Amino acid sequence: RASAFVGLGPACTVGLTLSDEGERKKIQTIKDGKQENLLVFTDKDPVAGEVTLKLDPGKRIEHVGVKIEFIGMIEMFYGNYHEFTNLVRDLDAPGELVTTKTYPFDFSNVD
């Protein structure tokens, strides 16, 4: 990325991995003409995994905290959406990242 080389653009990339992604049931859907595989969750399934903040070499980031937000939303008729839950977990206090860091998260028993 040339923009990162001259100091423009993000100094890190965010990765998300779900702990049971390989075993979870999936459904196929088509959105905007593209086929997607979506994971299926029920009300008793935990949503857990890891978030990785990967820093570019030699970069550092000051931050006001690291959080993850779980938004439960369902698409109703005619493109209307209904948000049925919204939960936030603090993963790290304000500070500075100087290396790549991975944070575990767990949203268990989400209603």
Q: State pLDDT tens for residues 61-108.
A: 898 999 999 888 887 877 788 888 888 999 999 999 999 999 999 988
pLDDT attached to residue 100: 92
Structure tokens given for 103? 């944070």
How far is the C-alpha of 2 from the C-alpha of 8, rounded, in Å? 8
pTM of the predicted protein model: 0.75
- Quote the DSSP letter at residue 48: E
How far is the C-alpha of 58 from the C-alpha of 78, rounded, in Å? 48
Percent of the chain's residues with pLDDT above 90:
35
Q: How would you class 1 by CB atoms within 10 Å of its CB: exposed for 0-12, middle for 13-18, buried for 19 or more?
A: exposed
What's the chain's average pLDDT? Answer: 84
